[in-house]
Structure 1
Amino acid sequence: MSAVLEIHPARAAGLPDAPPPAASTARQPDLQALRQLAETRFAPRERALHEAAALPLENLRELHDGGWLRLTLPESLGGADSRLGTGAAPTYLQAIRTVARVSPGTAHCLQVHNHALWTVLEAGTPEQHARFLAPLQRELSLFSFIGSEPGLAPGAARFQTTATPEAGGLRVHGRKQYATNGVARGYGIVFTSLDGAGGSQGEGGMAANHQMVIVEPGMPGVSQDDDWYAPSGMRVAASPQIRLEQVRVPASHVLGQPGEYLRGRWQGRFHLGFTANYLGMGEGILQWSLAWLRQFPERVADPFVQAHVGEVQVALQAAAAALDHAIAAWRQPDVQRAELVSMAAKSTCAQAAVLAADTLGRLTGSTALFDDHPLGRLIRDLKTHILHVGHDRTHQTIGAAALGQAFDSTRQR
């Protein structure tokens, strides 16, 4: 028996390839080429990246060269014009799904980067487009969101990271964590609270004080702790701590107006990025498990094995349909409904992937979980990454909406 099995294409697992995107004025990247790239180039690197809990720089360089790190930008900026509500909306989500079948961590880096570009595109000025976005056609710069903070309570009225106005910009101070992609090789969109706006008990709260700023590694006072990030799964989505020690942020790096992120309901737009990753992980688990099981004639002939493989395929097919349905919902004007449909799809895809992990883990057996093989890493990645879902919160939100009660469909959990 070979130590490392080839990961078969989706069709070998009985899974449909991603549907082609709708017509768009921008040239659409080739998802089949991306699948080939992930299977032949990313897969052999995955074990070493997991062991090092390292940013997948080689993967990201190849994604950059293929245009995958500009998907959410318009054609004028070298992108595919793929954002929710556009005709090419499925492209960036299907790219995340495709990469997640092999490297969920790389897929999350891709997701965060493209979401950040989309935010700069809509919230930024033409000058900021020229400064931060246009150069991506020539060189690799990674973008990150830097919002999470140690000890920040859900629903807090302020971030602990503060932005103090001063002549020509802001002075930012605070500590952040889980900053996927970091700032050492690009730019970070930092969430801060403006001093003197929407105080802890004041009117407006986050809606009044939330301010985005863009930081970069050359700024005095910006530092990154890569050694802090050591989870059991999603180790390839390197997400360091960031320290901001009285960092002077010039006006050129202040992104949008106070409260822009909340008014734009940006968090709700990102549900489907997670959804696509969960679905891809489930499909990757199935693909590899089928290749493993086919080595054992007595297992593939076992009706018990056949029935449970079929159960997983049915669940993943339903999950894929839920993703497609949610993408379509964003083409309608009811944003809140689209958010709720996206939350349902996110939970559906996560639960289908968990079913695949639990069921196929039993069918393949413990040897399949040895580090020579990707299955154990995929399962650990899944168990770590779905903590973003918060099934109880997701279901409570959907239930509250159905019952006519107050709800917030932009929350991750």
Structure 2
Amino acid sequence: MDFSFSKKHQEVYEVVGALGREKFAKRAQQYEAATGSPVENMKDLFDAGVAGASLREDIGGLGGGALGTDPLVSLLVVEQTARYCLSTAQCIHIHYNASHRVDQIGTPEQRERLIRPIIEKGVWLNSTGSEPGRTARGLYNLQTTAEKVDGGWVLNGVKNYATLADIVHYNTLSTIIKDVPPPDGHISFAIPQGAPGLTIEKGSWNPLGMRGAFSPVLVLKDLFVEDKNVLGGPGESAKGKWQAKSHLSFAAQYIGGSEGVFDILKDYLPKRGTAGDSYTQLRMGQIRIAIDSARWLVYRAAWLWPKDVAAAELFSMNAKYQALGAAVKTIELASQIAGSSALDADSALSRFIRDLRYQTLHENTDKTAATVGKYHLGQSYDVTSRL
């Protein structure tokens, strides 16, 4: 098994890395203070030719995404972006997963209307499944409803964590068909930006970390959606296990963010005068080993997807678990050896620590590990379990 980068992988890794060093890192503080998506960074990714990294090559993409011919290529964009700006990495991650899904399940007309403009015009898609209280109710027990009417559907409800909602050309989101229980009643739609009845709740994004990944609350009030904007059939998300197809992209963020912390420490600790301290050396080695160990699990999981989807779904949970653990370990050990003098509220290290810790709260590592354990004990398991 050879995990050496192909020429395409190396080019993507270097191009996005250069963007990160020269542009994303310099803008990160301003995006943390602003209210809105990182528009300039997203445009830079389009100009670099990676906006369609998770799309099929026959439409101008790079073949990435879980079901693509080259899943690693889009993960490298996410990882390298996260190394310099975790908020932007979350935005491109959301776009990649949303556009990959439409590319895989959409009709030919939807692919032309929703996907081709990504390649040609630099527009964006998002995907919002979350809504207030969903964690307690379960993944598919949604309260946002869709009711069938002539020519389309009427949607009512509230969605949260709608990343990129202010700049996408279509918001894609999930609802439950009125009076049809989940998962069969679970259904998704593509809603054009500015559609009557879809509003962004002002002041609804004010988190501790990931502030630049603008993810506000959306309010749907008697929102009419045409039949042509239904994505897949009822229950398609559950049947396709689409939640499991984002595991590695989250893991890539954890790895990239951890790498960003390591970069800061390499520069800062010699200046602090503690590079010769054995305790500092120990902690730096522990961080390095944790990141590298998680990275190779992620790369192996990416290698598995085109070969065995069921095995890849499960192994991606292993990789995500280790990447999250590496991120949490990195935060703790970095704080110990950098010391309080490096943790001014406006410092890059403080921002990385806030962002990385906030982002890792997307997952319940105990549930992830228990899911893997269920498989090995011959019990029923669900690879879409996260929270």
State the TM-score bracket (shorter-chain normalisation): over 0.9
Quick check: 1:173 aligned with 2:156?
A: yes
Structure-to-structure mapping, 1:124-139, within 5 angstroms? 124-139=106-121
How far is 1:33 from its partner?
A: 1.4
Q: 1:301 aligns with which of 269, 276, 280?
A: 276
Q: Is the 8 A contact 2:159 2:219 kept in 1?
A: yes
Runs of 4+ in 1 over 4 A off after TM superposition: none
Aligned to 1:64: 46
Aligned to 1:230: 206
Aligned to 2:168: 185
How far is 1:372 from its partner?
A: 4.3
Aligned to 1:216: 192
Aligned to 2:130: 148
Q: Is the 8 A contact 1:28 1:80 kept in 2?
A: no
RMSD: 1.9
Closer/same/farther in 2, CA of residues 222 and 340 from structure 1, 3 Å limit: same
Q: 1:391 aligns with which of 361, 365, 378?
A: 365
How far is 1:226 from its partner?
A: 4.5
Quick check: 1:160 aligned with 2:143?
A: yes
How far is 1:73 from its partner?
A: 1.2
Q: Is the 8 A contact 1:21 1:89 kept in 2?
A: no
Q: 1:78 aligns with which of 60, 63, 80?
A: 60
- The amino acid that maps onto 1:275 is A
Q: Distance in 2 between matches of 1:157 and 1:177?
A: 15
Say which SS state the counterpart of residue 300 (structure 1) adopts. Answer: coil
Q: Is the 8 A contact 1:184 1:216 kept in 2?
A: no
Q: Distance in 2 between matches of 1:53 and 1:380?
A: 17
Aligned to 2:75: 93
Say which SS state the counterpart of residue 388 (structure 1) adopts. Answer: coil
User: Which digits, 9 at most, give the CA deviation of each residue in 1:138-185, with x for residues without a partner?
Assistant: 323221112111123332664211111111111111111101111543
Q: Is the 8 A contact 1:171 1:247 kept in 2?
A: yes
Matched residues, percent identical? 32
Q: Is the 8 A contact 2:54 2:68 kept in 1?
A: no
Aligned to 1:248: 224
Structure-to-structure mapping, 1:329-344, within 5 angstroms? 329-333=304-308, 335-344=309-318
Q: 1:276 aligns with which of 242, 252, 255?
A: 252
Q: Distance in 2 between matches of 1:19 and 1:410?
A: 30
Closer/same/farther in 2, CA of residues 22 and 172 from structure 1, 3 Å limit: farther
Closer/same/farther in 2, CA of residues 69 and 117 from structure 1, 3 Å limit: same
Aligned to 2:286: 311
How far is 1:304 from its partner?
A: 1.6
Q: Is the 8 A contact 1:216 1:222 kept in 2?
A: no
Aligned to 1:4: none
How far is 1:362 from its partner?
A: 1.2
Say which SS state the counterpart of residue 236 (structure 1) adopts. Answer: coil
User: Which digits, 9 at most, give the CA deviation of each residue in 1:315-335, with x for residues without a partner?
Assistant: 1111111111211222332x3
Quick check: 1:349 aligned with 2:323?
A: yes
- The amino acid that maps onto 1:405 is Q
User: Which digits, 9 at most, give the CA deviation of each residue in 1:238-276, with x for residues without a partner?
Assistant: 101111111110111111111111111111111000000
Q: 2:296 aligns with which of 321, 327, 332?
A: 321
Quick check: 1:266 aligned with 2:239?
A: no
How far is 1:402 from its partner?
A: 1.5
Q: Is the 8 A contact 2:130 2:159 kept in 1?
A: yes
Q: Distance in 1 between matches of 2:210 and 2:168?
A: 20
Quick check: 1:105 aligned with 2:87?
A: yes
Say which SS state the counterpart of residue 323 (structure 2) adopts. Answer: helix
Closer/same/farther in 2, CA of residues 74 and 374 from structure 1, 3 Å limit: same
Closer/same/farther in 2, CA of residues 330 and 76 from structure 1, 3 Å limit: closer
Quick check: 1:55 aligned with 2:40?
A: no
User: Which digits, 9 at most, give the CA deviation of each residue in 1:15-40, with x for residues without a partner?
Assistant: xxx952487xxx99532011011111
Number of corresponding residues = 384
Say which SS state the counterpart of residue 117 (structure 2) adopts. Answer: helix
Closer/same/farther in 2, CA of residues 117 and 154 from structure 1, 3 Å limit: same
Mean CA deviation greater in 187-196 or 231-240:
187-196
Aligned to 1:361: 335
- The amino acid that maps onto 1:20 is F
Closer/same/farther in 2, CA of residues 21 and 390 from structure 1, 3 Å limit: farther
User: Which digits, 9 at most, give the CA deviation of each residue in 1:326-354, with x for residues without a partner?
Assistant: 11222332x33322211111110111121
Superposition TM-score, scaled by structure 2 size: 0.94
Closer/same/farther in 2, CA of residues 302 and 29 from structure 1, 3 Å limit: closer
Quick check: 1:194 aligned with 2:170?
A: no
Closer/same/farther in 2, CA of residues 381 and 412 from structure 1, 3 Å limit: same
Q: Distance in 2 between matches of 1:392 and 1:223?
A: 36
Q: Distance in 2 between matches of 1:372 and 1:150?
A: 31
- The amino acid that maps onto 1:75 is E
Q: Is the 8 A contact 1:229 1:240 kept in 2?
A: yes
User: Which digits, 9 at most, give the CA deviation of each residue in 1:31-88, with x for residues without a partner?
Assistant: 2011011111011111111122431111011111112221111223221111225442
Q: Distance in 2 between matches of 1:246 and 1:87?
A: 40
